């Protein structure tokens, strides 16, 4: 924690980093772009943004971040993964490119690009009971879908056809969609709350 303000990292290897920074800053967090293991060691929680999961995977290994992030997950660091970030948090990825790896930690099977091409992007209202009665406005842009949820994870939201698009497990939250571009802040607020709880227990 930076004073009384949580310091939240945004994995800044590729993807929509700036949008997450703006949401977190508006909520009163100190925000740090994470590109190296030394950066990760300075934050209380991490956002893994949307982008291209195969590129994030390759760059995380190139910059020596893959294992430190896996270690942070095992150690209980709160993390929010959106779109490609969900893929990176999933234990199992279907339709991955050859050699693609994830960080893991979220007991789900995720399919890449399940909603088609970018021109087939759409928005939807989602009921997310964990966030209260007001629906979430979610933007899906070439997003993944959760094909199955293991015993360790919890379904947070699903589309009307039953496809799971949000899941959580302990300090991990994975979303198929982009709350940061629709003005939805409650998932980021939840991440900040998890970071504060973890900080309070480690004092």
> What's the CA gap between 180 and 184, in Å, rounded?
6
CB 173 within 8 A of CB 82: no
- Asked if 176 contacts 145 with a C-beta cutoff of 8 angstroms, the reply is yes
CA 130 to chain centre: 16
Is 180 catalytic? The answer is yes
Catalytic residue among 20, 21, 52, 83: 83
19 is catalytic: no
Cα separation of 147 and 99, whole Å? 21
178 an active-site residue?
yes
Query: How far from each other are the two terminal CA atoms of the chain, in whole angstroms?
Result: 10
Considering the candidates 52, 180, 184, 188, report the single residue annotated as catalytic.
Answer: 180
For residue 68, how many C-alpha atoms fall within 13 Å in the half-sphere facing its CB?
Answer: 18
Element (H, E) at 201: helix 186-201
Q: Count the residues in the chain.
A: 203
DSSP 149-179: E-TT-EEEEE-TTS-EEEEEETTEEEESS-G
Phi–psi pair at 24, nearest 5 degrees: -65, -40
Write down the catalytic residue from 20, 178, 184, 188. Answer: 178
Which pair of tokens denotes residue 144?
């993944």
Residue numbers annotated as active site: 83, 178, 180
């Amino acid at each position: 924690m930076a004073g009384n303000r949580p310091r939240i990292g945004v994995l800044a290897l590729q993807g929509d980093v700036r949008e997450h920074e703006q949401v977190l800053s508006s909520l009163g967090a100190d925000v740090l772009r994470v590109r190296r293991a030394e950066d990760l060691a300075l934050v209380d929680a991490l956002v893994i943004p949307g982008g291209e999961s195969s590129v994030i995977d390759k760059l995380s290994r190139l910059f020596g971040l893959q294992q430190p992030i896996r270690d942070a997950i095992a150690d209980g660091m709160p993390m929010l993964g959106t779109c490609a970030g969900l893929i990176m948090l999933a234990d199992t990825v279907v339709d991955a490119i050859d050699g693609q790896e994830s960080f893991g930690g979220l007991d789900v099977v995720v399919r890449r690009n399940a909603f088609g091409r970018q021109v087939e992007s759409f928005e939807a209202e989602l009921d997310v009971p964990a966030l209260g009665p007001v629906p979430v406005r979610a933007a899906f842009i070439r997003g993944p879908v959760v094909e199955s949820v293991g015993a360790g994870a919890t379904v947070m939201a699903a589309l009307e056809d039953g496809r799971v698009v949000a899941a959580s497990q302990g300090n991990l939250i994975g979303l198929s969609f982009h709350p940061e571009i629709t003005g939805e802040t409650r998932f980021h607020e939840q991440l900040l709350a998890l970071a504060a709880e973890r900080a309070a227990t480690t004092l």
